[in-house]
Amino acid sequence: MADFDATVRDPADPQRLKPEFDSGDHLHPGDRGFAAMARTVRV
């Protein structure tokens, strides 16, 4: 199972996305966030 939250969560502020993965709305991941999430999936 992939833990997407752990992948994109900011360890300094667990209620937020890591800035490099934030799409700008502080709620949804951007392209870099989705790419990081995809890398967590084993195929």
Each residue of 3-32: pLDDT tens digit? 999 999 999 999 999 999 999 999 999 999
Whether 1 shows a pLDDT value over 90: the answer reads no
* Containing structural domain, residue 29: 4-39
Give the total number of structural domains in the chain: 1
Model confidence at 37, pLDDT cuts 50, 70, 90, reads very high
Q: Are 25 and 16 in contact (CB under 8 A)?
A: no
Whether 40 shows a pLDDT value over 90: the answer reads yes
Per-residue burial over 2-30, b = 16 or more CB atoms within 10 Å of its CB, e = otherwise? eebeebbbeeeeeeebbeebbeeeeeebe
The dihedral through the CA atoms of 28, 39, 2, 41 has a sign that is positive
pLDDT of residue 43: 87
pLDDT of residue 11: 95
Which pTM does this prediction carry? 0.85
